[in-house]
Amino acid sequence: MAINQWIYRVSKPLGGLSLAKFLTRKHPKILMYHRIGNELGRINVDEFRTQLKIIKKYFNPIALNDLVEISRYGNIPDNCVVITFDDGYYDFGELAFPLLKEECVPATLFLTTGFVDGNVWLWPDKLKYVLNNTDLKNVEIEGFDFDLVSKFDNHEAWNLIADYCLTLPDYKKTLLIESLFHKLEVVLPDSIPKSQSAVNWEKVNEFISNGIEIGSHSVTHPVLKNVDEKQLTYEVVNSKSRIFDMTGYEVQGFCYPNGMPEDFDERVEYAVRAAGYQYAISAYPGINPLNNRWAINRYPAQSNLENFEKNLYGFTRLNMKNK
| Per-domain residue ranges of the chain | 1-118+198-319, 123-184
Where does residue 239 rank: exposed (0-12), middle (13-18), buried (19+ CB within 10 A)? buried
CATH fit for domain 1-118+198-319, picks 2.60.40.10, 1.10.760.10, 3.40.50.300, 3.20.20.370: 3.20.20.370
In this prediction, residue 148 has a pLDDT band, given cuts at 50, 70 and 90, of: confident
Cα-based torsion angle of the residue sequence 303, 307, 313, 315 in order, rounded to the nearest 10 degrees: -160
Tell me, what's the pLDDT at 75?
85
Task: Give, rounded to a whole angstrom, the gap between the first and last alpha carbons of the chain.
Answer: 18
Tell me, what's the pLDDT at 257?
97
Q: What share of the chain is helix, strand, coil (3-state, %, to 5)?
A: 50, 15, 35
The residue type at 20: A
The mean per-residue pLDDT over the stretch 179-194 comes to 94
Cα-based torsion angle of the residue sequence 245, 246, 249, 251 in order, rounded to the nearest 10 degrees: -70
> Rounded distance, CA 159 to CA 120, Å?
21
pTM summary value: 0.94
The mean per-residue pLDDT over the stretch 302-320 comes to 92
**pLDDT tens, 270-282?**
999 999 999 999 9
DSSP labels, 241-254: HHHHHHH-----EE
**pLDDT tens, 207-266?**
999 999 999 999 999 999 999 999 999 999 999 999 999 999 999 999 999 999 999 999
